[in-house]
């Protein structure tokens, strides 16, 4: 079956760095998304990786290793507003989106 | 970035009534739209994939007659919750894929609709 694993919850300190991992086993691969979602709101797009390597976008970076079925989202200079759910999603060979359960990130002062 | 408008954002209805939620792509054409349901503190649950001009593809366990989906144009998809019951109370979110981006294009999400059935 298809499966995406992310940690359920993580805690980090304001100003620090945190890495949220995502591992996947899917039937084929056509890209991986990271979305941020605040409680009661719709998800917002953070990144899309389809090739191996690191994509940097301001305080957020996303890494992909297709051979390992692994991605991570790196958040630097954490701010209180970064407290949210972070969702990993993979597009499989049928172009279906498979969603992870999401990681709740808690930022403490 | 592209905008997806979802309406209404909040709706309260009586048990047994039907509620329609609209999802519009405002500045792009969306051949595919997705409807999700989300319970508190849980991730998105895909309900159905809606393709313009054809019948929606429902996920296992989702009742087609309960959740009617219509994707009549490249910019509009609607979800109708028929004969709503309190257990249908949830946060419903739509997303749309820009036609120009192909099958791997970024998904743009609507603001979500919170349905409360009394």
Query: Taking CB atoms and an 8 Å cutoff, what residues of chain A touch B25?
Result: none
The confidence score (pLDDT) of residue B1 equals 61
Which residues does residue A106 pair with via DSSP β-bridges, in sequence order? A11
Nearest to A101 by CA among A5, A2, A1: A5
Contact in structure between B11 and B114 (CB atoms under 8 Å):
yes
Point out the least confidently predicted range of A12-16, B16-20, B98-102: B98-102
Q: Is residue A31 less than 8 Å (CB to CB) from chain B? A: yes
Q: What is the layout of strands, in order, in the sheet containing B67-73?
A: B4-7, B19-25, B76-81, B67-73
Nearest to B50 by CA among B92, B91, B2, B1: B92
Q: Is residue A41 less than 8 Å (CB to CB) from chain B? A: yes
Task: Tell me, letter by letter, the H, E, C secondary structure of B41-100.
Answer: CCCCEEEEEEECCCCCEECCCCCCCCEEEEEEECCEEEEEECCCCHHHCEEEEEEEECHH
Contact in structure between B10 and B114 (CB atoms under 8 Å):
yes
Q: Is residue A44 less than 8 Å (CB to CB) from chain B? A: yes
Point out the least confidently predicted range of A31-35, A41-45, B13-17: A41-45
The confidence score (pLDDT) of residue A40 equals 77
Backbone angles phi, psi at B110, to 5 degrees: -75, 175
pLDDT at residue B99 tops 80: no
Count CB pairs under 8 A between chains A and B: 48
- Nearest Cβ partner for B43 among A41, A42, A101: A101
What's chain A's average pLDDT? 92
Q: How deeply is A29 buried, as exposed, middle or buried, from its count of CB atoms within 10 A (0-12, 13-18, 19+)?
A: middle
Is the bond preceding residue B8 a cis peptide, omega within 30 degrees? yes
With bands split at pLDDT 50, 70 and 90, how would you rate the model's confidence at B98?
confident
- Nearest Cβ partner for A43 among B41, B104, B109: B109
CB contact under 8 A, B108 and A45: yes
Which of residues 54 through 83 in chain A touch B, CB cutoff 8 A?
A: none
Digit-coded pLDDT (tens) for B12-45: 999 999 999 999 999 888 888 999 998 877 778 8
How far apart, in whole angstroms, are the C-alpha atoms of residue A29 and residue B29? 25
Q: Which residue has the higher pLDDT, B82 or B74?
A: B82
CB contact under 8 A, B109 and A30: no
CB contact under 8 A, A97 and B46: yes
Backbone angles phi, psi at A90, to 5 degrees: -120, 140
pLDDT at residue B2 tops 70: no
What's chain B's average pLDDT? 89
Q: What is the mean pLDDT of residues A69-76?
A: 98
Task: Select the residue from A42, A48, A50, A104 to test the B interface by mutation, using most B Cβ atoms within 10 A.
Answer: A42
User: Token pair for residue A86?
Assistant: 């972070």
Q: What is the mean pLDDT of residues A33-59?
A: 90
Query: Taking CB atoms and an 8 Å cutoff, what residues of chain B touch A48?
Result: 104, 106
Residues contacting residue A105 through CB under 8 Å, at least 6 positions apart: A9, A10, A11, A12, A18, A20, A75, A82, A83, A84, A85, A86
Nearest to B95 by CA among B82, B113, B83: B113
Q: What is the mean pLDDT of residues A65-94?
A: 94
Query: Taking CB atoms and an 8 Å cutoff, what residues of chain A touch B107?
Result: 33, 45, 97
- Residue B11 neighbours by CB distance under 10 Å: 17
Q: Which residue has the higher pLDDT, B107 or B104?
A: B107
Nearest to B115 by CA among B9, B5, B1: B9
Q: What is the mean pLDDT of residues A14-21?
A: 98
Task: Select the residue from A43, A47, A95 to test the B interface by mutation, using most B Cβ atoms within 10 A.
Answer: A43
Q: What is the mean pLDDT of residues B36-55?
A: 84
């Amino acid at each position: 079956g298809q499966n995406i694993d992310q940690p359920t919850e993580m805690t980090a300190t304001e100003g620090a760095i945190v890495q949220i991992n995502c591992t996947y086993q899917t039937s084929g691969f056509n890209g991986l998304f990271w979305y941020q979602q605040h409680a009661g709101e719709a998800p917002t797009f953070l990144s899309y990786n389809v090739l191996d390597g690191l994509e940097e976008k301001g305080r957020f970076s996303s890494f992909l290793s297709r051979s390992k079925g692994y991605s991570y989202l790196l958040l630097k200079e954490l701010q209180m507003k970064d407290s949210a759910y972070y969702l990993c999603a993979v597009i499989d060979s049928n172009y279906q989106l498979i969603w992870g359960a999401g990681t709740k990130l808690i930022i403490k002062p | 970035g592209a905008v997806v408008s979802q309406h209404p954002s909040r709706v309260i209805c009586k048990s047994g009534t039907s509620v329609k939620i609209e999802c519009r792509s405002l500045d792009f054409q969306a051949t595919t739209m997705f409807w999700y349901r989300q319970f508190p503190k849980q991730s998105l649950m895909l309900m159905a994939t809606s393709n313009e001009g054809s019948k929606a593809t429902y996920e296992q366990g989702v009742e087609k007659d309960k959740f009617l989906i219509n994707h009549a144009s490249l910019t509009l998809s609607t979800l109708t919750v028929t004969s709503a019951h309190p257990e249908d109370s949830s946060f419903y979110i739509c997303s749309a894929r820009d036609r120009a981006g192909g099958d791997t294009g970024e998904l743009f999400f609507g603001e979500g609709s919170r349905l409360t059935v009394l």
